[in-house]
Amino acid sequence: MPRTTPPRILTLLGTALAALALAGAGMAPAQAAAPVAVDASLTPASGGRVHPTHRHTPDVQYVNLGDSFSAGFGSGTLRAGPIPGCLQGTGPSHVTRLASLPGVHLTVDASCAGATPEDITAIAGAVRTQLATADLVTLTLGGNDLDLAGLITACSTLGSDAACRQALAMARQTLPSITASARTTLRRIDASTSGRILVLGYPRLFSPQYGDNDFVTARHARQLNRIADGLNRAVRAATRRTHTRFVPVAGPFNRHGLGSPTSWIYFNTANPGDPFNMHPTTTGYLRGYYPAVLHRAGLHHRVR
């Protein structure tokens, strides 16, 4: 889950949105932020179509927040999102598929690759007008509080056993703080909307049952998957005592991680620095994330 560009996203938000404030559409501190002026060419992902619905089926106002797993990294190409300094993928994902359902209107996709829970809190303040009228909110959060890229590199064939042990120990120590930071963010979002808030989990990125591969040994892959499981437990714990609901997605990816002949995880072997690496492919979003969120959002009856 790479960051967009240094410096940190929160700094980018502070400077870019402060400039927008001069034009009447900016952002003060998160608790007093003005709504972001959203570029109509970027939202909704369904192309702005208004879907006809049965007169007895109310329309659904939809807001998407979160990090790169919400921003569709791994599908399509890169594009700038409506939040200054934030990047998203252009390809199909669970978000675009939800937004294409009859009567579902994506009012803003404010997801941001590299966003931490703290960053997402600030972004939620910037789109508070959209949140106030939202019927559905989806997001992923917490993964960027881990140095996931560093962890995976240390445990890959580019690293060493010693480096992997150290990185795994640091990740385990970080997990409790992820629960605390994610809960703070979820409570802020919870207070901003009466809509249904679905907090999506993360997949296991590896399929060690297929043995060693050129990038990672099966042993290290199992250790990395256990960190992913711990991350999901930390995020699930953050949803307690809120009106948010955790949606697991690990199951569908179990035989489709890196190393599987039918992997749903993007990895560009020619470019280890590709920002899409270690994210779901289009298939991963549509066959892993979308069915899970469709069911929990109560929108399956709109599928045609």
How many domains would you assign to the chain? 1
With respect to residue 14, please indicate whether it lies within any of the assigned structural domains. no
With respect to residue 27, please indicate whether it lies within any of the assigned structural domains. no
User: Could you report the per-residue pLDDT of 117-146, keeping only the tens digit for each?
Assistant: 999 999 999 999 999 999 999 999 999 999
User: Could you report the per-residue pLDDT of 99-112, keeping only the tens digit for each?
Assistant: 999 999 999 999 99
Spatial neighbors of 151 by CB under 8 A, at least 6 apart, are: 167, 168, 170, 171, 224, 227
User: Which of these, 174, 159, 178, 167, lies nearest to 120 by C-alpha position?
Assistant: 178
Please report, rounded to a whole number, the percentage of residues in the chain having pLDDT higher than 90: 78
| Residue whose token pair is 């939620």 | 124
With respect to residue 36, please indicate whether it lies within any of the assigned structural domains. no
Residue 10 sits at φ, ψ, to 5 deg, of -60, -35
- What CATH code is carried by the domain that includes residue 153? 3.40.50.1110
With respect to residue 83, please indicate whether it lies within any of the assigned structural domains. yes
With respect to residue 29, please indicate whether it lies within any of the assigned structural domains. no
Confidence of residue 61 (pLDDT cuts 50, 70, 90): very high
With respect to residue 4, please indicate whether it lies within any of the assigned structural domains. no
Radius of gyration of the chain from its Cα atoms, rounded to whole angstroms: 19
The β-bridge partners of 65 are none
User: Could you report the per-residue pLDDT of 190-235, keeping only the tens digit for each?
Assistant: 999 999 999 999 999 999 999 999 999 999 999 999 999 999 999 9
Confidence of residue 56 (pLDDT cuts 50, 70, 90): low
- As given in the structure block, the two tokens for residue 245 are 């609901």
Strand ordering across the sheet containing 60-64: 104-109, 60-64, 136-139, 196-200, 244-247
User: What is the span of the domain harbouring residue 276?
Assistant: 42-49+56-302
* Residue 58: burial class (beta carbons within 10 Å; 0-12, 13-18, 19+): exposed
